[in-house]
Amino acid sequence: MTAVAFPSLPYAAGARRRVREFRSIERLVVASGAAAFGLLAGALLAMSVGRVETPAAIAAIMLLFGFAFHMAATSFVEILRARAWGGAGLFALHMLAFGLWPFQVLLFNPASLEFWVGLGALLATLAAFLWLSAAPARVVFRTSAQAALLAALTAYQGVLVAIGT
């Protein structure tokens, strides 16, 4: 089967071209869109399901957090293999905030400011990495999926705190 080209459409010739790199603002837009989708999904889940039993909540959170941490570790290895030392340093800060966040969740009350500082550090290091490094498209998509998962977890907890359940 042969492909049909439409010469009147200027984008038809490059339709099979794969995205290999983003500009810095495009990296932030992709990650922000994924995080917004995660926020919406987490908020809708919290409003529809409400608070679940503790063992089920811990199992779901550990599953999602583990998957997000796996995506972050895979991105970190890919950045190190590319020898992008500046991006690796920024992503190492993100991994540090990512590793400390579960402990902060366990130690502080969700209604306190200290509970949310870890999330702010996590998202700030993610945004700094995406803005300042020249990450390949795979890393951007993987990091955006990670941001969506973390935003969903945060929105779920935030809605539960806001409605007081």
Is 33 inside any structural domain? yes
Using N-to-C axis directions, what is the helix angle for 113-132 and 137-163, rounded to 10°? Answer: 160
Give the single-character DSSP code of 10: T
Do residues 110 and 95 touch, judged by C-beta distance below 8 A?
no
Bridge partners (DSSP) of residue 66 are none
pLDDT surpassing 90 at residue 41: yes
pLDDT band at 6 (very low <50, low <70, confident <90, very high): very low
Q: Is 10 inside a domain boundary?
A: no
Q: At 16, is the pLDDT very low, low, confident or very high (cuts 50, 70, 90)?
A: low
Q: How many domains does the chain have?
A: 1
pLDDT of residue 34: 94
pLDDT band of 165, cuts 50, 70, 90: low
Domain span at residue 90? 24-163
For residues 153 and 140, give the distance between their C-alpha atoms in angstroms, rounded to a whole number. 20
Whether 85 is in a domain gets the answer yes
5-9, 86-90, 135-139: least confident range:
5-9
In a domain, 92, yes or no: yes
Decide if 125 contacts 90 (C-beta within 8 A): yes
125-126-127-133 Cα dihedral, nearest 10 degrees: 90
- Whether 1 is in a domain gets the answer no
pLDDT by residue (tens digit) across 51-73?
888 788 788 878 888 888 888 88
Mean pLDDT for the chain overall: 81
H helices present in the chain, as ranges: 24-49, 54-81, 85-107, 113-132, 137-163
